Structure 1
Amino acid sequence: MAWLEIRVTYEAKGDLPADELLADAFSAVGIGSVSVTLPDVEPVEGWDPGGYTQDTDYAVTGYVDVDGREEGTLKALEERLIDLSSRSGIVCKVTTAMIPDTDWNESWKANFKPVHLTETFVVKPTWEEYTPVEGELVIAIDPGMAFGTGTHPTTRLCVEMIEKHTAEGTTVLDVGTGSGILLVAAALSGAKEGLGVDNDPVAVETAAENLALNGIPASFSVECADLISQTGKAYDLVVANILAEVVVELLGDIHRVVHKDSLVILSGILVEKGPMVEQRLSETGFALLESHAEESWLVMVAKADGV
């Protein structure tokens, strides 16, 4: 089976989260898994790029089966992009390419290279070599079709807070685990037990493979489930890197999985939606401890006082 690669390069306007808005446009026409290219993410210092050239364009790329319906999908996406441009001022350019099935992996692997998440954590694809310096921890990731390579600001913000707030023996729940990168980071930071849940079976399969790749012990696992199904057990740390609207819904049921001293780390939150999440935290018995912004995104850390 061949694939149609649809690549949308863009010039953002102001502080608008163009990558998220474009990803929403892809999702609206049935392309749920996309890759995001952010050329301002610097590779690890000292990394030898070989023949690789850093991409200079901001882009969102998705793939669809070549099954006779791809032209309709492309047209629908182009119409949504025209509407998005008229409303937001984001300038987009669409290019396409036919990708034989045998070239699928190589078509997106080319832009995934080792990068620093924090001063301590380096994320690297499984097909690249990297030798850590003293004090560095390496997360090997094969994202497959699941989002979460570590290059998005929300992932980096979450890893920073996981590293800061995970003590030896911490138990962790990762809601919407994706590639499992946050669960791996928690394990390497000293957590003793963890569970990743996701309602996408492809993500669950990918996350399980990434746990194994990093030698994470059997006390860490992943399930195809949602938060509400996780009853009867409270975790010391709950992490959710999802959209603000989902975070607001999540907080209504989060008492099922926390105790009075638990911490929650929430990201995927646009800066302008921070007040909405902060209000919901207060309504559901959480005290906001800290928040940090990168580009247009927030991470919030709250304590479960009164839950």
Structure 2
Amino acid sequence: MTKTSQSGAWVEISILLPAAAHEAMSGFLFDLGCEGLVIEGAQLKAYLPVSPELDSIKQRIRLFIDEIRRIFPEIGPAHITLAPVATSNWSENWRRFFHAEKVTPDLCVAPPWESPCSGWKGEVILMDPGPAFGTGGHATTRMCLRAMERVSLAPGWSMLDVGTGSGILAIYGAKRGAERIVAVDIDPEALRWAERNIGLNGLSGRIDLTERPVQDLDERFSLLTANLTMDVIIDLLPAFVRLLHPFGWLILSGLLRDQVERVRKSLKEEGLLMGRTFYRGEWASTITKKKRDK
């Protein structure tokens, strides 16, 4: 992601949407050429270079909202506003949105240009905000990170992170002592940003990044994390179960509250009983321990 504009002019597109639709809309905005995104409550603010295509982009956003309304019926009328960004230095302006933050009792996430949480003695992850999902600010990512602190793993444990995005979960796994880590994402751009963040944390060579489909992997892991949508999780569950060691841990996130029971039933069909479930607002995350192979 290169934060430059040939004209030097930028526009802020502000969209009001329920939190459940933020991830889908964020991906769509980056596909449209968005080069920065801020989420403030129910409001998404996307930043694009000024161009003659802005009216067309606004209309495409409206059409996309109409499409996802079938999945998220609670979405009301679209509220979309465009405003110029008064700045001559976009990269410096962008940085003001990201600050060091304590995201779990044991972890502070900080951008590389800012000192970690004041007086902090726990773990620190440096993250360069990019188009990849997962910088620690979203509830689903926070719940995954917290779940990783709750599971008990023997020395020499291994980890598979599915849909790694920014790489934050894999990085935390490395900092918590994982001996072997594989991080998967089907988006090459996400993997490039994950690689950058891995390097920022001095972990180059510690985490294997791959675009290989999860179904094609053939090794087993002590911990598997997946911060994805419900449909993707359910589709991949047979592979998840196969890739877990007996007594391995499965952490799932990206679920809405009313989707937990569907995932519980799918886990049962694969021979697993859902363990603890955690909620943050309308989001849910689960921790399940595999007992034995089917």
Q: Residues of 2 paired with 1:267 and 1:19: CA distance?
A: 15
CA contact (8 A) 1:26 1:32 kept: no
Residue equivalent to 1:194: 181
CA contact (8 A) 1:293 1:299 kept: yes
Unmatched segments (≥5 aa) in structure 2: none
User: Is 2:89 aligned against 1:109?
Assistant: no
Indicate how the Cα distance of structure 1 residues 287 and 63 shifts in structure 2: closer, same or farther if over 3 A, else same. same
CA contact (8 A) 1:146 1:206 kept: yes
Equivalence map 1:141-290=2 (5 Å): 141-165=127-151, 167=153, 168-216=155-203, 218-231=205-218, 233-290=219-276
* RMSD over equivalenced CA pairs, Å: 2.9
CA contact (8 A) 1:26 1:77 kept: no
Unmatched segments (≥5 aa) in structure 1: 11-17, 40-57
Q: Percent identity?
A: 27
CA contact (8 A) 1:158 1:266 kept: yes
Residue equivalent to 1:136: 122
SS at match of 1:286: coil
Equivalence map 1:43-54=2 (5 Å): none
Letter in 1 for 2:45: T
User: For residues 71-98 of structure 1, what are the alpha-carbon distances to aligned partners after superposition, in whole Å with 9 as ceiling and x for unaligned?
Assistant: 2121132355578599526465322245
Q: Residues of 2 paired with 1:185 and 1:286: CA distance?
A: 26
Structure 1 residues 289-298 or 61-70, which shifts more?
61-70
User: For residues 165-222 of structure 1, what are the alpha-carbon distances to aligned partners after superposition, in whole Å with 9 as ceiling and x for unaligned?
Assistant: 2534220000000000001111112212211110111110111111111122623221
Residue equivalent to 2:12: 5
Give the Å deviation of 1:279.
0.5
CA contact (8 A) 2:250 2:287 kept: yes
Equivalence map 1:35-46=2 (5 Å): 35-38=37-40
SS at match of 1:191: coil
Q: Residues of 2 paired with 1:185 and 1:246: CA distance?
A: 23
Q: Residues of 1 paired with 2:251 and 2:22: CA distance?
A: 26
Indicate how the Cα distance of structure 1 residues 31 and 278 shifts in structure 2: closer, same or farther if over 3 A, else same. farther
Indicate how the Cα distance of structure 1 residues 185 and 5 shifts in structure 2: closer, same or farther if over 3 A, else same. same
| Alignment TM-score, normalising by the size of structure 1 | 0.80
Pick from 61, 69, 74 the counterpart of residue 58 of structure 2. Answer: 74
Residue equivalent to 1:59: 43
Letter in 2 for 1:200: D
Number of equivalent positions = 281
| Alignment TM-score, normalising by the size of structure 2 | 0.84
Structure 1 residues 240-249 or 188-197, which shifts more?
188-197
Q: Residues of 1 paired with 2:129 and 2:182: CA distance?
A: 18
Letter in 1 for 2:39: T
Q: Residues of 2 paired with 1:161 and 1:65: CA distance?
A: 39
User: For residues 14-69 of structure 1, what are the alpha-carbon distances to aligned partners after superposition, in whole Å with 9 as ceiling and x for unaligned?
Assistant: xxxx1232543465674487734245xxxxxxxxxxxxxxxxxx421334565543
Q: Residues of 2 paired with 1:26 and 1:122: CA distance?
A: 24
Letter in 2 for 1:224: E
Residue equivalent to 1:44: none
